[in-house]
Structure 1
């Protein structure tokens, strides 16, 4: 392909046939030839910047995409080279972090840009997700087909029998290169590594303890203490749910081999200390981070599925192997009760997965939703109860509205069969409620609860895990108790983490409801959780206590006014289109430990999947000098190719 023909090729698709004004207002149309002339006259940057200032942000983004697509047409090497330079100029990360991340992600971003039409739904999603310059398009209409009508029966009543114990932990993010005594204060995404001589043990002015720090991922010693604590505190656990994310946040330095070693180590350790474990695929399991393509695009992450199938089949059986290998999900029967556990690959709905931005975004990536419907329908016919587990909660800002909507349709249809859902990813302690009608968000319309587990890694609070009291017949959740290792305890860095009960949901909230819910045999129903959110609205002290619980008492920031409104909206958003999150140019990503703003309380999507590549793209919407550099580098490529 001749680079000089780039803009002609970009004209293919809807943008070439008319306006590329995407604001749904009366903005004047611009076609591709206008952009071509603007680039050649070196005035495109001024046009883009004026559009941003005048709030024509989606139109402005099309101009940025013209430049990015143009660079991508010159090949991956050129794209990586220019992307690295922009990252360094933006100073979003250190130079080595920029170089490492862009080398990993750049080819994927370039591939998506080459396969994306200007002005398309994919382009709008890209602009919204990475530049904050387009509102998410309306969800494409798809009524998920179901093989049978929804039965009239509701959730079964608890049996009153002695409950089972079920454990959940998440986001362990184990750093095998953590060095005790190295610096906890660094310029990288994670610290506690001897990046420089000044960071080394004996030289650092902020030495890390042996068992972890809030600026660092989990040392192996902290991971081991988690498994031992579960073994000691919950020796009778029926099973354990692990909702993903094993690999550390050094996303500039991952590789297939490094990630494979981390994943193998983690599951080997789990098998040594724990009994039955049900796992799911986190976004950090892939290299580069978040990179889970659908099968029709690439098989670059097949090694992840192959590895997870080898690790998981010891617990879920050989019959689940084919589905894990095909798309990283499985359905399996709990051997000691009438429960089916379905593990979803939520990376197919994750907006930070660059592979998903293609000419047409697949409605049902790798057929996972169709597969889920079939599994749930069979479970319903067999009279089974179901737990759905996954990494990313479908209601958070990280989830595509479309995929979240389609999953929500499935949850509504099978709400009498699904006992509960369990997720991680956000690193904080919270929940989400799904409704049969989001225009009537009340207790009567609450139909499902997603339990979102806080992390082991201490970057967002005290290391944590949860224990659920579960009815042995209906598998309804009767209580949810969070355990923590308090890092302010002097023993944490000396004799080791001390794991203690932090709070019980029923104890913290049940007695304050009207009528109270204190019976140990009573279910924490979706209506219960809706009533808890209503309690938050009427009782500021209880809401403030909940905010403290989110980070397990660490670095607690006030949440009032718009922050409180956003938080309540997120708790009532089982699907992401209802979470009240708005975008603006410049998404202002920071380390978890550095900032908690009004939306951060509700979104919690900051550091888990972010990278220097995403921050660089974001900076193009807020830094005119970066746009000018991008335009200059693109024009230089054209000149050299002439």
Structure 2
């Protein structure tokens, strides 16, 4: 039985944190490491591949049957997860070769038991620079415009005031059982949210009201994705569609007609995380069509039609602006998107890089400035390394045209720097800044959004100001008060060398690099940054390796430079490190630490392997009869 259980958890590793059995997954990965190692993990996937090839339906039924054999794992969560993910798992396993780079990558992503596979260097085809290359312009000195940035709202339409915040599911504040209903529990949810729950609609409304009070003169807003809640085992395509429609409807009505330039988050898809390329799955482009229709209110007609099938677009900001927004579908490069492993050596999924180069070249030729927006930061470990490298080549080539980049996904308040030379990461080589916004959902900190002050001619970022609703404020239960947490220029400008305090001076990539150097030398400054990262929610000390890794991540425009080293076990949000760095497990704590304690026996392994082979034999027998 053990092989089947390990296989069940490992191949669903991409969703273990989402589905609430991350501790069980850690145990499975630990066993795979101790008893199998990398080669054993690939053997397990190979057995699954054989069964998937023999009979996809039998493979799926066999997987779902394992949910009843895994101790202490919520059966609803487990069955729901396989119901959603199993078909993609079967198709991916059918496609990949045994003992291949894809198997290495899957075992690295899911269990941390193989080394990250090396990718073949590829020089992205790029137009040559002009003999007199364009340079980033100096600040104009004119009064700035304002731009709002919000992300990862994760609205829960089933949030119920008074429901249990201390439930047994990955996300709470729902009436899962009679004990979870209002008046039947000792930990009732308030009207505006709880850290163990996703955002209620009341909190969503409060955020939009605050935006219009704080920045009523904002020129436009950027939304970097993730609308659907974290109860991903219980979603449907129709459920997601309604939440997405409702969310964009509110943006349209509550932001007083301001344009909202948006991108697709990994949670928008049903099943979660799964974004096949058009080459892999030609049908079921419904999500992209839906988003294209919703975005059409704010983007050019040509932009809506050009990439309607792909979840991306390029559009000028209206009103005579010289600014172009290019929205990337970063989910194509997301390591928890199982479809990535189907064609792991594909250099340019959905031809997005080639399209991006064309758009940036046209912008360069016309003298336009560009904001890049996307969901997952390219330098984050969640972006597969080869695709991150290829993107970085494009960003570096057009670093004089790109004014700034904006992302979400991490749920925390931070940034990342793109360099022209990653072997010499210094201020002189700093080329671009990625502004990574905190989330509305309070699972990783206080609800938050940002307001940027932008030069109206160069479109450089002059300041980044984060606003929060403090959930410890007694007023939060009646009406959240949104206040300024910090201004980057005020908090960090005097601390860097040279200081940056002039309101009309740009926060250049060199400024952000100099900040990382200042934080290396000043623990108090670094501690203040870590506290702001979670918006002052449960900050803990981060020293030694923790501090080194955090600063390394800030200097990672490419995921290969993030200092991330896979370790056996859960590779999504390790609490021992993440909490020290101001991050928190967005799915809550479901301790299943002793799930596999009784299964660590070689004899069990042999019996389990025999059971998988017996199932395969039964499939072949049925086919021959």
Task: State the partner residue of 1:402.
Answer: 386
Check the 8 A contact 1:581/1:599 in 2, yes or no: no
Q: Distance in 1 between matches of 2:81 and 2:136?
A: 47
Equivalents in 1 of 2:617, 2:38: separation in Å?
29
Kindly provide the CA deviation profile for residues 581-625 of structure 1, in whole angstroms up to 9, marking residues without a partner as x: 1112212666xxxx73225666969658x9x9xx99x999x9678
Distance in 1 separating the partners of 2:281 and 2:158 = 31
How many angstroms apart in 2 are the aligned matches of 1:49 and 1:632? Answer: 21
The answer to which of 368-377 and 322-331 deviates more is: 322-331
Distance 1:480 1:391, change over 3 A: same
**Aligned match for 1:271, one of 240, 244, 252:** 252
Q: CA separation in 2, counterparts of 1:619 and 1:349?
A: 33
Aligned pairs, how many? 584
Show the counterpart of 2:64: 84
| Aligned CA distance change for structure 1 residues 400 and 603 (closer, same or farther; 3 Å) | farther
The equivalent of 2:434 in structure 1 is 450
State whether structure 2 residue 288 is matched by structure 1 residue 305. yes
Residue 390 in 1 paired to residue 374 in 2?
Answer: yes
Of 242-251 and 92-101, more deviation after overlay is shown by 92-101
Distance 1:88 1:502 in 2: 47
- Look up the match of 2:614: 636
2:312 and 2:608 mapped to 1: Cα distance? 40
* Correspondence 1:63 to 2:53: no
Aligned-pair distance for 1:92? 7.3
User: Which blocks of at least 5 consecutive residues in structure 1 are unaligned?
Assistant: 1-47
Cα separation, 1, equivalents of 2:537 and 2:240: 30
Tell me the equivalent position of 1:290: 273
CA spacing shift, 1:66–1:623, aligned 2, 3 Å: farther
> Contact (CA 8 Å) 1:484, 1:501: kept in 2 or not?
yes
CA 1:359/1:516 → structure 2, altered by over 3 Å: closer, same or farther?
A: closer
Matching residue within 494, 503, 507 for 2:490 = 507
Q: CA offsets per residue over residues 421-442 of structure 1, 9 Å max, x none?
A: 0000000000000100000000
* Contact 2:540–2:582 (CA under 8 A) maintained in structure 1: no
Q: Aligned to 1:373, which of 357, 379, 400? A: 357
Question: Aligned Cα RMSD in Å?
Answer: 2.6
Contact 1:306 1:324 in 2 (8 A): no
Unaligned runs of 5+ in 2: 1-28
Distance in 2 separating the partners of 1:463 and 1:93: 30
CA shift for structure 1 position 60: 2.2
Aligned position for 2:12: none
Aligned mates of 2:407, 2:72 — CA distance in 1: 30
Q: CA deviation at 1:51?
A: 8.5
Provide TM-score, normalisation by structure 2: 0.89
Q: Supply the distance in 1 between the matched residues of 2:228 and 2:606 (Cα, whole angstroms).
A: 36
CA distance in 2, matches of 1:382, 1:589: 42
Q: 1:280 to 1:51 in 2, by over 3 A?
A: closer
Residue from 131, 155, 170 that aligns with 2:151: 170
Aligned to 2:103: 123
Q: What CA distance in whole angstroms lies between the structure 2 residues aligned with 1:169 and 1:582?
A: 30
Which residue of 220, 224, 237 corresponds with 2:205? 224
Q: Distance in 2 between matches of 1:629 and 1:387?
A: 56
1:137 to 112, 117, 132: 117
Any idea what the Cα deviations from partners look like across 1:260-294, whole Å, max 9, x if unmatched?
A: 00000000000001111000000000000011100
Query: Is 1:153 the equivalent of 2:134?
Result: yes
Verify the 8 A CA contact 1:286 1:301 in the aligned structure 2. Answer: no
Residues 360 and 582 of structure 1: CA distance in aligned 2, closer, same or farther (over 3 Å): closer
The change in CA–CA distance for 1:229 and 1:138 in structure 2 (over 3 A counts) is same
Change (3 A) 1:219 1:477: same
Under a length normalisation based on structure 1, what TM-score does the superposition of the two structures give? 0.87
1:600–1:392 CA distance, 2 compared to 1 (3 A): farther
Of 486, 507, 515, which aligns to 2:470? 486
CA distance in 2, matches of 1:528, 1:51: 45
